């Protein structure tokens, strides 16, 4: 079988005009990850570490890259880029503590090996999911573009991961927006056991770059000087003439995907040829041949590196095992933030729901010059619901950004902006399409603060809900998908005044939000909305109606259904509008249960596994002694949202809710 990765010739080094000291610095940098890995493989055999992803034979790529960039330029490494971490000078004892899940590691024991970032060292590490890091690099690049910092961002991917949609989305956005990002593909022949020819049908990634309208260059990934020189030259040029570039580094994975999985499936001949191209041995030999590395200096540098590793390991091993502290674990879910509520002014004007949202967004744009809006057709067109109509004229195209059709990349870009201190609002054209950005929300936005203390200052606006005869893919209620994910906040207003104040509040808070806006409310309800900027307290429910006979707990459209039903049936009920779904207001729920003793939860979402399931369970456990009737719940049928109005009416809970309401009132 002809493998797409061929090692046809030995490495031919060219020192260009680099002086001896530069060559020696690169040597010292290059032997560090190799010597660490030698040690790790021993520790693995001794059962002192649990898992190891090897970068053996690929070190030249990380080391060439890390030495080519400025220290304050971000790098987004993957699982075979130990050299990025050592090259950036992370204290080895902290790096080893990270590997061992110790407290002084970069994630306080919460994530493993290379899955962390550190702003101090300008590194954003991977999550396990392959692909989403490309868009984060786009976001950092966009921040550099917006603030006119002449900086380069460099992101790694494996060749296997390039089959993920996120690879395509990330490169496409970078190309369309001309972002100063270097995408390095480590073309090492395999993705786990799958060889490149079963992964893609082209031979070289240099064929792919031009397809995106992007320059692409190929380097010998085992030749540290080739990688260094190419990336250094590119970076110098990109700082002056910002643009994305794809760099394909040809190399080979010399060990198993991870140590336990072995390399049985790799033809022996490939291993043999590639072992002749070892990046460390060859560079060492080259330096000796040209008289730059003497035996004495070689010994001295290796001793120095080994001593540093041993010292780092000694400190890390001496650190006691982590002790769990539940309070600390829960506290670190969100970035620290204390909301100071800004009360509304007396000046009001009549506004529709959609206008109140637009008004809040506009005032937030004025208040926060670092707020960037992104979404499909939100520019000159004003968005499909016209929330951002006229915004481009006021705030410009840089801050009101029309995006390509790529939810995942745009949410990832928003996170990248946040890493650079920006705020971002992403408009989903319809809440349904969030499925295409799901991974970025639940795995990146939601977990990043808990993992390494990075805030995700992003609000995702979600035009949601049924009742508009729009069928299964433009009508879904999907708040419960996110309700179950620690690290997110979810807001779902039911009226114009709350919508404006809650949106402003969500944008103020540096934590990630899903902000649900019911499409059927956009133009159907109006209210006297305060003119000036104000905020509504996050996490606080509000009584939409006061009554003594029973409690209806609900949110969004449910509030309107409850108001209508109680008035038509003449039931004096408490109607509690949750407003924030995560974190939800336990005190207010408890208070209304204590007051009436009879509760029904109403949601537009399908019944099974919805928000009501959680709250009703909590009431049963925590308010049992105040209950005078079974806790009830009503929601939509457990089917997709049907298109035909009669079917949709039957799907929605309104009629069934009225019946249950009567039963509960009579109980
Ligand atoms: C989205 C996703 N799917 C599957 C995996 C499991 N997985 C981890 S690494 C890997 C192979 C990656 O290959 P490649 O991108 O070529 O990088 P390499 O390991 O060769 O450096 C796979 C399949 C994953 N981590 N993420």
Which residue carries 């040209």 as its tokens? 290
Residue 118 pairs in a beta bridge with 123
Backbone angles phi, psi at 82, to 5 degrees: -50, -35
Helix axes 224-240, 59-68, angle to 10 degrees: 30
Give the residue whose CA is nearest to atom 22 of ligand 1: 192
Which residue carries 């008289």 as its tokens? 291
Q: Write out the DSSP string of 298-364.
A: HHHHHHHHHHHHHHHHHHHHHSPPP---HHHHHHTTS--------PPPS-EEEEEHHHHHHHHHHHH
Give the residue whose CA is nearest to atom 19 of ligand 1: 191
* Ligand 1 pocket test target in 3, 4, 183, 192 with most atoms within 8 Å of CB: 192
Spacing, Cα 293 to ligand 1 middle (Å): 37
Mean pLDDT, all residues of the chain: 97
Answer for the pair 483, 527: CB distance below 8 angstroms, yes or no. Answer: no
Model confidence pLDDT, tens digit, residues 302-355? 999 999 999 999 999 999 999 999 999 999 999 999 999 999 999 999 999 999
Give the pLDDT of residue 343: 98
Give the pLDDT of residue 3: 53
Q: Which atom from ligand 1 is nearest to the alpha carbon of 191?
A: 13
Which one, of 495, 429, 489, lies nearest residue 459 by Cα?
A: 489
Number of other CB atoms surrounding residue 263 within 10 Å: 16
The pTM assigned to this predicted structure is 0.97
Spacing, Cα 164 to ligand 1 middle (Å): 10
Spacing, Cα 186 to ligand 1 middle (Å): 12
Model confidence pLDDT, tens digit, residues 267-315? 999 999 999 999 999 999 999 999 999 999 999 999 999 999 999 999 9
Spacing, Cα 134 to ligand 1 middle (Å): 14
Spacing, Cα 181 to ligand 1 middle (Å): 22
Which residue carries 């029904």 as its tokens? 600
Q: Which atom from ligand 1 is nearest to the alpha carbon of 164?
A: 1
Give the pLDDT of residue 51: 83
CA 195 to chain centre: 29
- How large a percentage of the chain has pLDDT more than 70? 99
* Ligand 1 pocket test target in 130, 195, 274, 440 with most atoms within 8 Å of CB: 130
Is residue 586 over pLDDT 70?
Answer: yes
Range with the poorest average pLDDT among 250-259, 387-396, 534-543? 250-259
Spacing, Cα 191 to ligand 1 middle (Å): 6
Residue 217 pairs in a beta bridge with 247
Which one, of 594, 589, 565, 595, lies nearest residue 576 by Cα?
A: 589
Show the tokens assigned to 352: 């529709």
Average the pLDDT over 543-553 and give the result: 98
Average the pLDDT over 168-173 and give the result: 98
Q: With bands split at pLDDT 50, 70 and 90, how would you rate the model's confidence at 2?
A: very low
Give the pLDDT of residue 6: 63
Model confidence pLDDT, tens digit, residues 517-547? 999 999 999 999 999 999 999 999 999 999 9
**Structure letter (DSSP) for residue 616:** H
Give the pLDDT of residue 24: 98
Give the pLDDT of residue 259: 87
List, in order, residues 6 or more apart from 582 with CB less than 8 Å away: 482, 483, 488, 489, 490
Give the residue whose CA is nearest to atom 9 of ligand 1: 192
Q: With bands split at pLDDT 50, 70 and 90, how would you rate the model's confidence at 396?
A: very high
Is residue 250 over pLDDT 90?
Answer: yes
Q: Which atom from ligand 1 is nearest to the alpha carbon of 78?
A: 21
Backbone angles phi, psi at 477, to 5 degrees: -100, 110
Task: Convert 229-258 to b/e letters by CB count within 10 Å (16 or more is b).
Answer: bbbbebbeebbeebbbbbbbbbbbbbbbbe
Spacing, Cα 369 to ligand 1 middle (Å): 39
Give the residue whose CA is nearest to atom 17 of ligand 1: 158
List, in order, residues 6 or more apart from 424 with CB less than 8 Å away: 139, 371, 372, 373, 374, 413, 414, 415, 417, 418, 457, 458, 459
Q: Give the C-alpha distances (Å, rounded to integers) separating 630 from 159, 547, 574.
A: 57, 19, 17
Is residue 377 over pLDDT 70?
Answer: yes
Q: With bands split at pLDDT 50, 70 and 90, how would you rate the model's confidence at 48?
A: confident
User: Cα separation of 559 and 536, whole Å?
Assistant: 18
Q: Give the C-alpha distances (Å, rounded to integers) separating 332 from 328, 435, 447, 455.
A: 6, 26, 10, 11
Spell out which residues line ligand 1, taking CB within 6 angstroms.
Answer: 80, 128-130, 158-161, 164, 186, 188, 190-192, 253, 257
Which one, of 302, 288, 270, 307, lies nearest residue 196 by Cα?
A: 270
Catalytic-role residue among 474, 484, 518, 560: 474
Give the residue whose CA is nearest to atom 7 of ligand 1: 192
Q: With bands split at pLDDT 50, 70 and 90, how would you rate the model's confidence at 261?
A: confident
* Ligand 1 pocket test target in 81, 159, 160, 253 with most atoms within 8 Å of CB: 160
User: Cα separation of 283 and 218, whole Å?
Assistant: 19
Is residue 664 over pLDDT 90?
Answer: yes
Q: Helix, strand, or coil here: 240? A: helix
**70 part of the active site:** no
* Ligand 1 pocket test target in 53, 115, 191 with most atoms within 8 Å of CB: 191
Answer for the pair 460, 423: CB distance below 8 angstroms, yes or no. Answer: no
Give the pLDDT of residue 7: 59
Task: Convert 107-146 to b/e letters by CB count within 10 Å (16 or more is b).
Answer: bbbbbbbbbbbbeebbbbbbbeebbbbbbbbbbbbbbbbb
Spacing, Cα 88 to ligand 1 middle (Å): 24
Which residue carries 């770059």 as its tokens? 209
Which one, of 521, 537, 660, 514, lies nearest residue 599 by Cα?
A: 660
List, in order, residues 6 or more apart from 414 with CB less than 8 Å away: 139, 372, 374, 424, 425, 426, 458, 460
Q: Helix, strand, or coil here: 604? A: strand
Helices (H), 178-325: 224-240, 268-275, 279-289, 295-318
Model confidence pLDDT, tens digit, residues 481-512? 999 999 999 999 999 999 999 999 999 999 99
Spacing, Cα 192 to ligand 1 middle (Å): 6
Q: Helix, strand, or coil here: 426? A: strand
Answer for the pair 358, 409: CB distance below 8 angstroms, yes or no. Answer: no
Q: Which atom from ligand 1 is nearest to the alpha carbon of 162?
A: 15
Q: Helix, strand, or coil here: 585? A: coil
Is residue 173 over pLDDT 50?
Answer: yes
Is residue 432 over pLDDT 90?
Answer: yes
Model confidence pLDDT, tens digit, residues 65-95? 999 999 999 999 999 999 999 999 999 999 9
Is residue 105 over pLDDT 70?
Answer: yes
Q: Which atom from ligand 1 is nearest to the alpha carbon of 199?
A: 16
Q: With bands split at pLDDT 50, 70 and 90, how would you rate the model's confidence at 1?
A: very low
Q: Which atom from ligand 1 is nearest to the alpha carbon of 129?
A: 26
Is residue 9 over pLDDT 70?
Answer: no
Is residue 644 over pLDDT 60?
Answer: yes
Q: Which atom from ligand 1 is nearest to the alpha carbon of 80?
A: 21
Is residue 431 over pLDDT 60?
Answer: yes
């Amino acid at each position: 079988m002809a493998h797409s990765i061929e090692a046809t010739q030995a490495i031919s080094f060219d020192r260009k005009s680099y002086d001896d000291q530069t060559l020696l610095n690169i040597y010292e940098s290059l032997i560090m990850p190799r010597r660490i890995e030698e040690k790790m493989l021993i520790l693995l055999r001794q059962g002192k570490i649990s898992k190891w992803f090897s970068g053996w034979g690929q070190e030249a790529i990380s080391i060439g890259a890390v030495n080519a960039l400025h220290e304050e330029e971000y790098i987004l490494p993957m699982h075979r880029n130990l050299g990025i971490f050592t090259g950036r000078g992370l204290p080895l004892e902290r790096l080893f503590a990270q590997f061992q899940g110790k407290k002084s590691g970069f994630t306080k024991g919460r994530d493993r090996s290379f899955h962390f970032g550190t702003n101090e060292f300008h590194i954003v590490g991977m999550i396990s999911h392959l692909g989403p890091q490309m868009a984060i690099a786009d976001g950092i690049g966009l921040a550099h573009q917006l603030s006119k910092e002449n900086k380069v961002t460099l992101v790694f991917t494996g060749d296997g991961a390039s089959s993920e949609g996120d690879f395509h989305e990330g490169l496409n956005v970078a190309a369309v927006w001309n972002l100063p990002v270097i995408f390095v593909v480590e073309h090492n022949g395999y993705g786990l056991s799958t060889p490149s020819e079963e992964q893609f049908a082209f031979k070289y990634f240099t064929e792919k770059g031009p397809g995106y309208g992007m320059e692409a260059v190929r380097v010998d990934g085992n030749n540290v000087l080739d990688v260094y020189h190419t990336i250094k030259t590119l970076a110098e040029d990109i700082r002056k003439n910002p643009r994305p570039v794809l760099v394909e580094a040809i190399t080979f994975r010399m060990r198993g995907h991870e140590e336990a999985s072995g390399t049985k499936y790799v033809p022996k001949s490939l291993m043999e040829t590639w072992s002749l191209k070892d990046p460390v041995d060859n560079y060492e030999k080259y330096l000796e041949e040209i008289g730059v590395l003497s035996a004495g200096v070689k010994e001295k540098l290796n001793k120095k590196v080994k001593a540093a590793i041993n010292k780092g390991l000694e400190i890390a091993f001496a650190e006691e095992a982590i002790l769990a502290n539940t309070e600390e674990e829960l506290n670190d879910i969100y970035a620290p933030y204390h909301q100071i509520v800004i009360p509304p002014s007396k000046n009001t004007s009549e506004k529709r729901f959609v206008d109140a949202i637009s008004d809040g967004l506009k005032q937030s744009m004025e208040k926060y010059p670092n707020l960037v809006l992104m979404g499909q057709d939100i520019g000159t067109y004003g968005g499909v619901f016209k929330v951002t109509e006229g915004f481009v004229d006021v705030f410009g195209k840089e801050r009101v950004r029309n995006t390509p059709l790529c939810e995942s990349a745009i949410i990832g870009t928003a996170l990248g902006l946040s890493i650079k201190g920006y705020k971002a609002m992403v408009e989903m054209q319809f809440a349904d399409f969030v499925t295409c950005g799901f991974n970025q929300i639940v795995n990146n936005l939601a977990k990043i603060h808990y993992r390494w203390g990075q805030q995700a200052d992003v609000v995702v606006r979600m035009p949601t809900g049924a009742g508009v005869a729009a069928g299964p893919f433009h009508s879904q209620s999907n708040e419960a998908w996110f309700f179950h994910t620690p690290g997110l906040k979810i807001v779902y207003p039911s009226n114009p005044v709350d919508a404006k104040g809650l949106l402003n509040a969500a944008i103020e808070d540096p934590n990630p939000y899903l902000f649900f806006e019911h499409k059927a409310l956009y133009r159907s309800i109006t209210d006297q909305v305060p003119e000036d900027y104000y905020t509504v307290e996050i996490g606080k429910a509000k009584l939409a109606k006061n009554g003594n006979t029973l409690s209806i707990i609900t949110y969004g459209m449910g509030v309107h259904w409850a108001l209508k039903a109680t008035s038509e049936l003449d039931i004096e009920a408490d109607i509690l509008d949750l407003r924030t779904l995560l974190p939800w207001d336990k005190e207010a729920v408890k208070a209304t249960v204590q007051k009436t003793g009879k509760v029904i939860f109403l949601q537009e979402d399908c019944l099974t596994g919805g928000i009501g399931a959680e709250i009703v369970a909590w009431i049963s456990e925590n308010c049992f002694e105040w209950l005078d009737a079974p806790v009830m719940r009503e929601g939509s049928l457990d089917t997709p949202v049907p298109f035909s109005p009669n079917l949709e009416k039957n799907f929605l809970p309104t009629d069934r809710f009225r019946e249950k309401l009567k039963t509960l009132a009579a109980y």
